[in-house]
Chains A and B, each alone.
Chain A
Amino acid sequence: MASLIACPHCGPRPKEEFTVRGDAGITRPAPDAGEDAWHAYVYLRDNPRGRHKEHWHHTSGCRRWLVVERDTMTHTIHAVSDASAEGATA
């Protein structure tokens, strides 16, 4: 886990202030997309090695959802942005 996340609103903060939701690249299927699509959306996740975009919630800070791009191998944080800035819902 990365230890310092540069929140775009609060500045650098330790990971303990955040809650990780998971992969930010998943899109919610249509209500009638069928069981397989919904099963995949709810339960199936990749376990990527390297760069990965995730939704993080700054629970103990500004309480905003962020998109954190980090390297799962080196723990480097590449980019942090507010989730609403990309039009993503969280």
Chain B
Amino acid sequence: MADFALLHRPALAGAKAGSFGAPSTGARITLTALPEGHVLQVLAARDSDHLQDLIPRIGDGSPHAVRPYGPGQWFVIGDAALSAAEIFGKTPLLDGMASISDQGHGRIRIGISGRAVETVLAKGTAVDLDRASFPVGRSAMTLIGHISALITRTGAESFELLVLRGFAESLWDELIQMSLEFGVDARATQ
């Protein structure tokens, strides 16, 4: 028996929340801590790059559940928490061509939206986020400042960031800084 109980605390529960920066510019940024549901890392076996059509089988069917970030590498994301048994139960769906690793404890999602969202993110990353080259549903693993994050466009003026848990609050604070000129509403509670 464990000597003490492990309590799951949302990584951003104690993060800065409220309204910051310019009072009203019409291009306000909204930062949201998203539910810590499930984050599954899927790695394809060698020479299995053609698995794109297979991966959605283990997702929950929601838009942007499957996020590719390199050849044969995906994150599958959803709002519902999954037990170890439920995750293990998904393995046969990949016909032995890829493995699943639960990263729900290790990565945090942050939603960022607003008319100036591309300008804000461009302060941190060199990825071209223009809608023509980075359409809705596209993902890119990159650096935001010095913090590694997976950027996904979820809408015309909204993105989701997937970041290592230990860096989540740092990134959160930096995003607030980067958004000050437009004004920002940060909602850390879920």
User: CB within 8 Å of A: which of B91-150?
Assistant: 126-128, 140-143, 148
Interface residues on A, range: 10 to 19
CA distance A12 to B133 in the complex (A): 12
Q: In the bound complex, do residue A10 and residue B143 qualify as a contact, i.e. CB atoms below 8 Å apart?
A: no
Q: Is B154 an interface residue (CB 8 A)?
A: no
* B148 neighbours in A (Cβ, 8 Å): 60
Q: In the bound complex, do residue A63 and residue B126 qualify as a contact, i.e. CB atoms below 8 Å apart?
A: no
CA distance A16 to B69 in the complex (A): 18
Q: In the bound complex, do residue B140 and residue A10 qualify as a contact, i.e. CB atoms below 8 Å apart?
A: yes
* B140 neighbours in A (Cβ, 8 Å): 10, 61
User: CB within 8 Å of A: which of B56-87?
Assistant: 69-71, 73
Q: Known contacts A11-B128, A13-B127, A14-B126: does B142 contact A64 (CB below 8 Å)?
A: no
* A61 neighbours in B (Cβ, 8 Å): 69-70, 140-142
Q: Known contacts A13-B126, A13-B127, A14-B126: does B142 contact A60 (CB below 8 Å)?
A: yes
Closest A residue by C-beta to B71: A9
CA distance A12 to B128 in the complex (A): 9
A positions within 8 Å CB-CB of B: 4, 9-14, 16-17, 58, 60-64, 82
B positions within 8 Å CB-CB of A: 69-71, 73, 126-128, 140-143, 148
| 12 A-B pairs (CB sep. < 8 Å) | A4-B126, A9-B70, A11-B128, A12-B128, A13-B126, A14-B143, A61-B70, A61-B141, A62-B73, A62-B141, A63-B73, A82-B71
